[in-house]
C-alpha cells in the first residue's frame, strides 16, 4: 500500500506512520506531507529518514503544487491529519484554522480527483468536537453538528467538504471523529503533556474553571489501530466515531498525573476558564464496535506509559518548552496573568 499521510510530523500522524511500519514493514510506502508549523517536528520520525519506503515532503496542504507532488507516486490511501489543532490558539487567531482545516481539505480532495484516479481510500480525520458539548448521553454519527469554537467550526467545514466530495464525485472518503488522544510525542501545549511536564519541574498546573469539564480519553495507539481498521472495513461516505470509553473530569486526570509522579496536589492552580469551554464530550461508538473494532488500552496503563515516556524523553519536550521562543511567547500570552 502507498500511503499519503499529511501532518505526519505531528502527534497522531507520527504515531500512525510508526504504527504502519511496525505492522506492515516494507510493504508500507509512506509519503509524509507536512508544513512543519510550530507543532510539526520532522525529527519525530528521524529513524525512517533515508529508507526507501519513506519520503518526507516539506509542503502545505493549501498549496496545490505541493499536494500534486505528494500524489505523484501513485497513492492508494490518503490519511489527512494536517490541521491547526489547539482550541486555545484558535481563540487567539482563527484565520490559519480556516485556511488549513477547511481550505486545505478542499485542495487535498480536488487534487485527488486530478492526480489519484485509483485512490482506494481518503480518510478525513475529524473530531468529536464537531458535535459540540453534551450534558447527558452520547453523540451518534447521525446527530446534528454544533461546533462551538473556531477550531471545531473549521474542522466541521473540512468534515463536510470531504463528505461533499464523496457524494458529488464518488471520491472514496470516510470520516472519523475521534475523542481526546493522549500518548507519547504529544506537543506539550495540550492538557496531559503540559501537566506532566510542568509537574516534573514543580511548576503550577493551570486547571481551567472548576476543573469538572469531561473529555473521553483515547490512547493514541488505539486511535491508529482504528484508522487502519477503517481503511479496510469502512464504507465510502460513512462517518465513524472513535472514542476511548474513558470519560474523566479534568481535575481527576490532574490528580492521577500528580500521584503517578509523586507530586503534591498543591501544584494545581485553578485559573480563569477557557472562553466558550465545552463542558462534556461523549461518543457513542456502537457503529465502529459492530464492525468488529475495540480499543485495547486500559486508561490507567495508557496514562502510566505516557507519563513514563515524558520522564524518559526530557530532551524532546525541553527543546520545545525551554528553547522554542514561539512556545515561550505562546505560554506567556496564554497563562501570564491568568
Ligand atoms: P498536531 O498539532 O500535533 O499536528 C498537526 C500537524 O499538521 C503538524 O505536524 C503540522 O506541522 C501539520 N500541519 C499544520 N498545518 C499544515 C498545512 N497547512 N499543511 C501541511 N501540514 C500542516 O495535531 P494532532 O493532535 O496530531 O492532530 C492530528 C489530527 O487529528 C488533526 O486533524 C486533529 O484535528 C485531529 N484530532 C486530534 C485529536 C487530539 O486529541 N489530538 C482528537 C481528534 C481529532
Ligand atoms: O476532543 C478532541 C479534541 O481534543 C481535538 O480535536 C483537539 O485537536 C485536541 O486539542 C483536544 O481538544 P481539547 O480542547 O479537549 O484539549 P486540551 O488538551 O486543550 O484540553 C483538554 C481539557 O483540559 C479541556 O477541558 C481544557 C482543559 N485544560 C487544557 C489546558 C491546555 C486546562 O484545564 N488547562 C490547560 O492548560
Domain spans of the chain, in order of start: 2-182+217-242
pLDDT of residue 338: 86
**Distance of alpha carbon 159 from alpha carbon 155, whole angstroms:** 6
Question: Is residue 151 annotated as part of the catalytic site, yes or no?
Answer: yes
For residue 270, the ligand closest to its alpha carbon is 2
CA of 190 to the centre of ligand 2 (A): 6
Q: In ligand 2, which atom is closest to the CA atom of 208? A: 33
The per-residue pLDDT for range 76-87, each reduced to its tens digit, is 999 999 999 999
pLDDT bin (cut points 50, 70, 90) of residue 337 is confident
Span 303-318, mean pLDDT? 98
Under the banding of pLDDT at 50, 70 and 90, the label for residue 120 is very high
Q: Which of 34, 66, 101, 128 is catalytic?
A: 128
Q: Tell how far the Cα of 294 is from the centroid of ligand 1, in angstroms.
A: 24
pLDDT at 35 over 90: yes
Q: Kindly state the cell numbers that stand for 114.
A: 486530478
The single residue of 3, 54, 151, 187 carrying the catalytic annotation is 151
Summarize pLDDT for 134-160 with one digit per residue, the tens.
Answer: 999 999 999 999 999 999 999 999 999
Region of 270 please: left (phi>0), alpha (psi -120 to 50) or beta: beta
Compute, in angstroms, the gap from residue 189 CA to the centroid of ligand 2: 9
- Residues 118-138 have a mean pLDDT of 98
| Choice among 66, 84, 129, 228 that is catalytic | 129
Give yes or no for residue 84 CB within 6 A of ligand 2.
no
pLDDT band for position 113 (50/70/90)? very high
The b-or-e profile of 299-326 (16+ CB within 10 A means b, else e) is beebbeebbebbeeeeebbeebbeeeee
CA max distance for the chain: 58
* Ligand 2 atom at minimum distance from 335 CA: 36
DSSP 21: H
C-alpha cell of residue 336: 501570564
CATH class of 2-182+217-242: alpha beta
Q: What is the mean pLDDT of residues 25-48?
A: 98
284 assigned to active site: no
* d(CA 125, ligand 1 centre) in Å: 9
Q: Is the pLDDT of residue 73 over 90?
A: no
Sole residue written with cell 511500519:
21
Q: Is the pLDDT of residue 54 over 90?
A: yes
Tell me the pLDDT of the chain averaged across its residues.
98
Ligand 1 center–CA 266 separation, angstroms: 33
pLDDT band at 275 (very low <50, low <70, confident <90, very high): very high
The preferred substitution site among 69, 82, 193 for testing ligand 1, maximizing ligand atoms within 8 Å of CB, is: 82
Closest CA to 98 of 154, 146, 56, 161: 154
Neighbour order of strands in the sheet with 247-249 = 180-182, 214-219, 247-249
Mean pLDDT of 186-213: 98
Residue among 3, 82, 13, 2 nearest 44 (CA): 13
Q: Look up residue 127 and give its three cell numbers.
A: 473530531
Q: Specify the pLDDT at position 236.
A: 98
* 234-271 b/e (C-beta count within 10 Å ≥ 16 → b): beebbbbbbbbbbbbebbebbebbbebbebeeebbeeb
Q: Coil, helix or strand for 264?
A: coil
Nearest to 29 by CA among 83, 82, 72: 72
Residue 326: which residues within 8 A CB-CB, separation 6 or more? 38
Radius of gyration for the chain, computed over Cα atoms and rounded to the nearest angstrom: 19
Of the pLDDT bands very low, low, confident and very high (cuts 50, 70, 90), residue 96 is: very high
pTM of the model: 0.99
Ligand in closest contact with the CA of 210: 2
| Alpha carbon nearest to ligand 2 atom 6, residue | 127
Which atom of ligand 2 is the closest one to the Cα of 334? 36
Decide: 128 in ligand 2 pocket, CB within 6 A.
yes
Query: Among residues 178, 184, 177, which one has the least CA distance to residue 244?
Result: 178
Position 304 scores a pLDDT of: 98
Q: What is the pLDDT, as a whole number, of residue 298?
A: 97
At residue 110, the pLDDT reads 98
- In the block, cell 500511503 appears at 3
- In the annotation, is 314 catalytic? no
Amino acid at each position: 500500500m502507498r500511503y499519503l499521510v499529511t501532518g505526519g510530523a505531528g502527534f497522531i500522524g507520527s504515531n500512525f506512520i510508526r504504527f504502519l511500519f511496525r505492522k506492515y514493514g516494507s510493504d508500507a510506502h509512506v509519503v509524509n506531507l507536512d508544513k512543519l508549523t510550530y507543532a510539526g517536528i520532522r525529527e519525530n520520525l528521524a529513524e525512517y529518514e533515508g529508507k526507501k519506503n519513506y519520503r518526507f515532503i516539506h509542503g502545505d496542504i493549501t498549496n496545490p503544487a505541493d499536494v500534486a507532488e505528494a500524489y505523484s507516486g501513485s497513492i492508494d490511501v490518503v490519511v489527512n491529519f494536517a490541521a491547526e489543532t489547539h482550541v486555545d490558539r484558535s481563540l487567539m487567531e482563527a484565520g490559519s484554522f480556516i485556511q488549513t482545516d477547511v481550505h486545505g481539505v478542499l485542495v487535498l480532495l480536488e487534487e485527488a480527483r486530478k492526480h489519484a484516479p485509483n485512490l482506494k481510500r481518503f480518510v478525513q480525520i475529524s473530531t468529536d468536537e464537531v458535535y459540540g458539548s453534551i450534558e447527558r448521553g452520547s453523540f451518534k454519527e447521525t446527530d446534528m453538528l454544533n461546533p462551538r469554537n473556531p477550531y471545531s467550526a473549521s474542522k466541521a467545514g473540512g468534515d463536510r467538504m470531504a463528505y461533499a466530495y464523496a457524494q458529488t464525485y464518488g471520491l472514496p472518503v470516510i470520516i472519523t471523529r475521534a475523542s481526546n488522544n493522549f500518548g507519547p510525542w504529544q506537543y506539550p501545549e495540550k492538557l496531559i503533556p503540559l501537566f506532566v511536564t510542568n509537574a516534573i519541574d514543580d511548576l503550577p498546573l493551570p486547571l481551567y474553571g472548576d476543573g469538572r469539564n469531561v473529555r473521553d480519553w483515547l490512547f493514541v495507539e488505539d486511535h491508529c489501530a482504528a484508522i487502519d481498521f477503517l481503511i479496510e472495513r469502512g464504507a465510502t461516505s460513512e462517518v465513524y466515531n472513535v472514542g476511548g470509553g474513558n470519560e474523566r473530569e479534568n481535575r481527576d486526570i490532574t490528580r492521577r498525573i500528580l500521584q503517578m509522579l509523586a507530586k503534591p496536589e498543591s501544584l494545581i492552580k485553578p485559573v480563569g476558564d477557557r472562553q466558550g469551554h465545552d463542558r462534556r464530550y461523549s461518543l457513542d461508538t456502537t457503529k465502529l464496535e459492530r464492525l468488529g473494532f475495540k480499543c485495547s488500552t486500559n486508561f490507567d496503563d495508557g496514562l502510566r506509559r505516557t507519563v513514563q515516556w515524558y520522564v524518559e524523553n526530557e530532551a524532546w519536550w525541553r527543546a520545545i518548552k525551554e528553547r522554542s521562543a514561539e512556545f515561550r511567547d505562546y505560554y506567556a500570552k496564554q497563562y501570564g496573568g491568568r
